[in-house]
Structure 1
């Protein structure tokens, strides 16, 4: 099976990866949007968990990771619910970890263990301990494939960086003990700037936050009215919305009508209708310089300044006033 990706190119993958890609849990991710509510308020904000999962697998492959680590990368998001991290707010999980809590249950109840067993792999050895996979995951503020892919993918799709920019950055990666570092402080500065375009300018874009908050409220109401149940979140975004649209609840229909892009928003800390804080996400990649690893913030005032601004913005959150149409 050949797998093609805009960022990383085309690769022939092993049969175990091909079968997993075609499995129901991975195919479901085509209907789960990475940005949660974002596609509902801007149709161009439409990256899916499937695209990201394929990208993570292929970037691990490009960097020389094992088939086992590619499997872990492909499957790392299969337990993401409809609307991704919106559900963490619906269910009051401030650490945005609900998909991690249910990960093993989702795996065990699927065909994934059987597929792996048929190829002489055990899911317990590959999928239940991320610490084995040093390319796939690293604690912030270091780089890892997961963090790199969603940043490059979103920012390329949404017009912030070119393919050439992304490819040039990937060439600056150096692996030391199977961990990702950078050869050059300029590459670190570029990625830091790009990452904060993602987690501050995009995740905390007023329209994105508005959609997030309104969808959270709608889904909470739909649960309370028993129009949907918790298990529905293991379906696709549009399947969950379809159940709500079919409801005869006037409250739900009114809330649904509020999720659109024709809204005027103003950042206003004094008079606000919405205050939203997401998970704090900071980046400070290490650079291999003079045979030593040094944090980018030790080498660059720009990285320090960007990090301070991002910390302040994320810690304070976004205060939005909804301006009525005149």
Structure 2
């Protein structure tokens, strides 16, 4: 399997059992789910899909020397994302805004994934909990493959990073004691600043809060009137959007129009019901024989 990846360039996946897992319909569903959720309708340049990101996490884990099981965990870490990614978290809110995590067993136990994982020598239950894979997943503000890959992809899409800066970040990553660290403090500072910019201007910005809350209102109304069923959210963005756009409900039409034709002046005096999750980095940096958090370095 050959592909040109926006972060890692020209790459080959030559493990036939991994390629077979990628080809599963349950995995391919992620091609229809934008990482940016409903924000992609307001900003069409936000084209990153959950499939692209999942492949990227796999590639980064492989680059960092993770074992085969953790690489597969990287492929599957977003398998249960509902349509429009985190949009559902603005209806069923939690501190971590990770509703999809609770759905993971349901997706992993689908027959196509069960069969593909069996060929790989794994069982679905090995991938229920990403926290057992320290290169794949770490809590904020640590580095992990998931966090780094979505930062690189979103950063490139939104202009907060350049191909040159991403290449520099990648060149200064290593693993010490199962922990991803930067090998250079200045590069770590540059990455931290770019990540903060992404959080401030995009992920947790007033604009994103507006778009996600307005879209949540449309979804909530669709569920209330029976236009949308909960199982519909297990499909993809286009399927759910087609249902919403078919409605004559004035509230749904108004909310969708405010997103698709977003204008900055709509933010004046706007008070979101749910605040987007805030993200930040305090990455570990390599020191002699070990590492220290960037904030602890003089």
1:13 aligns with 2:14: yes
In 2, Cα distance between equivalents of 1:251 and 1:38: 19
SS of the residue corresponding to residue 47 of structure 1 reads coil
Q: CA deviation at 1:95?
A: 2.4
- Contact 1:222/1:252 (<8 A) preserved: yes
C-alpha distance 178-4 of structure 1, shift in aligned 2 (>3 A) = farther
In 2, Cα distance between equivalents of 1:123 and 1:218: 34
- 1:310 aligns with none
- 2:258 aligns with 258
- 1:29 aligns with 30
- Contact 2:141/2:283 (<8 A) preserved: yes
- 1:170 aligns with 170
More deviation in 66-75 or 196-205? 196-205
- Contact 1:3/1:13 (<8 A) preserved: no
- Unpaired runs of at least 5, structure 1: 301-326
C-alpha distance 169-49 of structure 1, shift in aligned 2 (>3 A) = same
In 2, Cα distance between equivalents of 1:264 and 1:167: 33
SS of the residue corresponding to residue 259 of structure 1 reads helix
C-alpha distance 243-266 of structure 1, shift in aligned 2 (>3 A) = closer
State which structure, 1 or 2, has the greater radius of gyration over its C-alpha atoms: 1
In 2, Cα distance between equivalents of 1:236 and 1:192: 32
- Contact 1:41/1:207 (<8 A) preserved: no
Number of aligned residues: 297
C-alpha distance 245-267 of structure 1, shift in aligned 2 (>3 A) = closer
- 2:51 aligns with 50
- 1:223 aligns with 223
SS of the residue corresponding to residue 180 of structure 1 reads strand
In 1, Cα distance between equivalents of 2:93 and 2:65: 38
- 1:286 aligns with 284
| TM-score, length basis structure 1 | 0.85
More deviation in 35-44 or 252-261? 252-261
- Unpaired runs of at least 5, structure 2: none
Q: CA deviation at 1:81?
A: 0.4
- 1:121 aligns with 122
Q: CA deviation at 1:58?
A: 0.6
RMSD, matched Cα: 1.9
- 2:189 aligns with 189
C-alpha distance 244-266 of structure 1, shift in aligned 2 (>3 A) = closer
1:60 aligns with 2:51: no
